[in-house]
Structure 1
């Protein structure tokens, strides 16, 4: 790969955003490993579920409805949710207090099971996430896609970012940039493309000492329409 030096990417982003101070103020900082470890299973499930419902829908509408989701699904506590019968899940999927979408509601059950099983294997879901190697962050994306439900594409990564996990995001601007340097060729979510992305971001991380989150955002700000 013939990669652009990160300093050049940074300077272009700063010029587009009114200087380095303005650019730095726009960046979000990920949580530390210790902070991630303190996140409980119910908050992971809530975040995944919110992003599943926001996919293809107005994010604002989903956020406004979310207190009703929290109430109907026991604050997304894993234990009570895993005890629900199929009939009880069906009843919840048509409850007028929430956005009625059967397959998205059923993804809550599947993702609760994923979080529960990860906890058995790793001590807690948060521990698995916090200890995931940063140079294979797309491996975590693939884990969510394989073991969860409706968490493929950008849904899983956006949920991780929302929770403070250090991850890049293949937004439209970032993807377009990576394609221009042939880091992504063909399908975006192929093993080859994701491996190339990991390699590129690891390279820029070594150059800059910055988080994957910062690098991803700076790339987005350096090109395109800045669709975040």
Structure 2
């Protein structure tokens, strides 16, 4: 697969954002693998839950109610949540302090179980996430989709990015660029599309030494209606 040279993408982003310093100031670096490994299990579940609830609703609505979520769901500590009887979840889903939608509330015990199972084998969920190589970060996406609940599409990747995991994202501008350059063709959720995109990002990473997160942001700033 032939992809555009990263230097060309970078220079276009520089021109659009008003210079190197202006562009670099906009970039948000990813955490190191060691930092990712140290993220507590409860914060992974909290991030997954927040993104699940933000899907299809204004993100600010969820953020405004988030302290109530933290209180109602035991600060997303895995063991207390997994000990809850089935009837407790219906009661919690009816609490007016949160967004009352039982199917989304039920993702909490399901995703808590996924995190617990991985912790049994790897010591912590963060340690497991940290071992995924950049060249196959979409394998992590696929695991979340296949073993978690409502973590497919952009939901899982956005939660990972929120916590600082080094991953690219299919934002509107990034997807438009990938389609225009034929890196991405057809549905973006197919394994073929995911691996083709991951291969392109891995090549840009090898060429530039930059994180996948920075490359993703630079691509977004290099295209679309986002001039300085």
Runs of 4+ aligned structure 1 residues displaced above 4 Å come to none
Question: What is aligned with 1:221?
Answer: 221
Q: Shift of the alpha carbon at 1:167?
A: 0.2
Q: Where do 5+ consecutive residues of structure 2 fail to align?
A: none
Say how many residue pairs are matched.
226
Q: Shift of the alpha carbon at 1:181?
A: 1.4
Question: What is aligned with 1:4?
Answer: 4
Whether the 8 Å CA contact 1:2–1:181 is kept in 2: the answer is no
Residue 53 of structure 1 pairs with residue 49 of structure 2: no
Written as runs of structure 1 = structure 2, the 5 A alignment for 1:25-64 is: 25-64=25-64
Q: Where do 5+ consecutive residues of structure 1 fail to align?
A: none
CA distance in 1, matches of 2:191, 2:35: 30
Question: What is aligned with 1:75?
Answer: 75
Question: What is aligned with 2:150?
Answer: 150
* RMSD, aligned α-carbons: 0.8
Q: Shift of the alpha carbon at 1:52?
A: 0.5
Residue 195 of structure 1 pairs with residue 195 of structure 2: yes
CA distance in 1, matches of 2:58, 2:206: 37
Q: Secondary structure at the match of 1:30?
A: coil
CA distance in 2, matches of 1:175, 1:80: 40
Q: Shift of the alpha carbon at 1:183?
A: 1.1
For each residue in 1:189-209, what CA deviation from the matched residue of structure 2 results, as whole angstroms up to 9, or x when unmatched?
111101101110011011100
Question: What is aligned with 2:18?
Answer: 18
Whether the 8 Å CA contact 1:54–1:62 is kept in 2: the answer is yes
Question: What is aligned with 2:93?
Answer: 93
For each residue in 1:145-183, what CA deviation from the matched residue of structure 2 results, as whole angstroms up to 9, or x when unmatched?
011000000010000000000000011111111111111
Question: What is aligned with 2:116?
Answer: 116
Question: What is aligned with 1:66?
Answer: 66
Q: Secondary structure at the match of 1:129?
A: helix
TM-score normalized with structure 1 length: 0.97
CA distance in 2, matches of 1:32, 1:61: 31
